[in-house]
Amino acid sequence: MFLLSILRVIKFSLQDFWRNIWLSVVTILILVLALLSVNLLLVVKVLGSTAIDAVKEKVDISLYLRSEAPENRIFTLKDRISGLDSVKEVNYISKQTAIENFRDKHKNNQDMMLALSELGNNPLSPSLVIKPKEVDNYDELIVSLNTIDDQIIESRNFDDHKAMLAKINNITDKASRAGLIISLFFVLITVLVVYNTVRVAIYTHKREIGIMKLVGASTWFIRAPYLISGIVYALLGVSAVIIILYPLLSLIQPYLANFFSGFEINILTYYNNSFIKIFGLEILAVILINFLASLVAVGKYSKV
């Protein structure tokens, strides 16, 4: 008997969905718009995080060495620094590489090139470019570097880096906080939109709910078709979002790759890797909101 009731509830739900096709279409349309907004926000968040990571990736510390430092001692120092926990990698920039980089960087600056040729010899020092494992652990790295005592080290003033990193961390923290607040705000609006859409959809059935109660339908028998409809809305809505979103992402991906050139950014890959997580959560969230809305609305209109 219970199975029979379940089958009847599913039948009534699909029948109602079809016989109220315009109301169903409008409900799904609003759902799609709300979900597209959420996904748009997610794309912006992913891009924001990538941009922040890209900036952090650029952060490194240069340890300048004495010009006359023999290379074997430099390599020993390099290995020693590479062994530190907070160090991701250490690159050695020789005097020759440094001057080549300098020339390349300032090749269009005539005054700079003239001044360099007047000096006659290579004025630049060799250096070790150190990349920290985590930008947040920058202080720890500085402390570790300060403990290394080696005669070939010429300069170990890290104050400029510290200030710059503090700024970066400050900006990224603020960006994360602002992103979180905007996300919460956006999600709240979406929840309210979906919740009220479902309530309005049920409101149009107010008279029918009353009649069902009058002929002896239990509250479960009245409520269940709306829950089934909610699942159908969620599945169709999210499917529509997937159909709309993927071509859209494919369209913007080349522009994103160009904008973030030099960094690994592929929003399509991100969506592919998190497909179940993103769209599964969206389906569950819509079903949950629908459940709450129908619980309140049906309860309200079935008090006869």
Partner 1 sequence: MNMIKLENITKIYPPDIKALYRVNLHIKPGEFVSLVGQSGTGKTTLVKILIGEERPSQGRIVVGGWDITDIGQAEVPVLRRQIGVVFQDFKLLHRKTLFENVCFALQVCGEPSSKINNIVPQVLKIVGLENKMRRYPLEVSGGEQQRTVIARALVHRPKILLADEPTGNLDSINADEIIEILQKINKFGTTVLLVTHNREVVNKLRKRVITIENGMIVGDQAVGKYIL
Instruction: List residues binding partner 1 (CB under 8 A).
Output: 1-2, 4-5, 8, 15-16, 19-20, 208, 210-219, 221, 304
C-beta of 20 vs 86, nearer to partner 1: 20
Phi/psi class of residue 216: alpha, beta or left (left: φ > 0; alpha: ψ in -120 to 50)? left
Are 261 and 279 spatial neighbours (Cβ–Cβ below 8 Å)?
Answer: no
CB of 294 to partner 1, least distance (A): 18
C-beta of 173 vs 208, nearer to partner 1: 208
| CA nearest neighbour of 244 among 219, 217, 281, 271 | 271
C-beta of 207 vs 277, nearer to partner 1: 207
C-beta of 243 vs 295, nearer to partner 1: 295
CB of 198 to partner 1, least distance (A): 18
CB of 5 to partner 1, least distance (A): 5
CB of 190 to partner 1, least distance (A): 30
Are 61 and 125 spatial neighbours (Cβ–Cβ below 8 Å)?
Answer: no
Rg (CA), the chain: 31
C-beta of 155 vs 218, nearer to partner 1: 218
Residue 215 half-sphere exposure toward CB, CA atoms < 13 A:
7
Residue 67 neighbours by CB under 8 Å, 6+ apart: 95, 125, 126, 154
CB of 301 to partner 1, least distance (A): 14
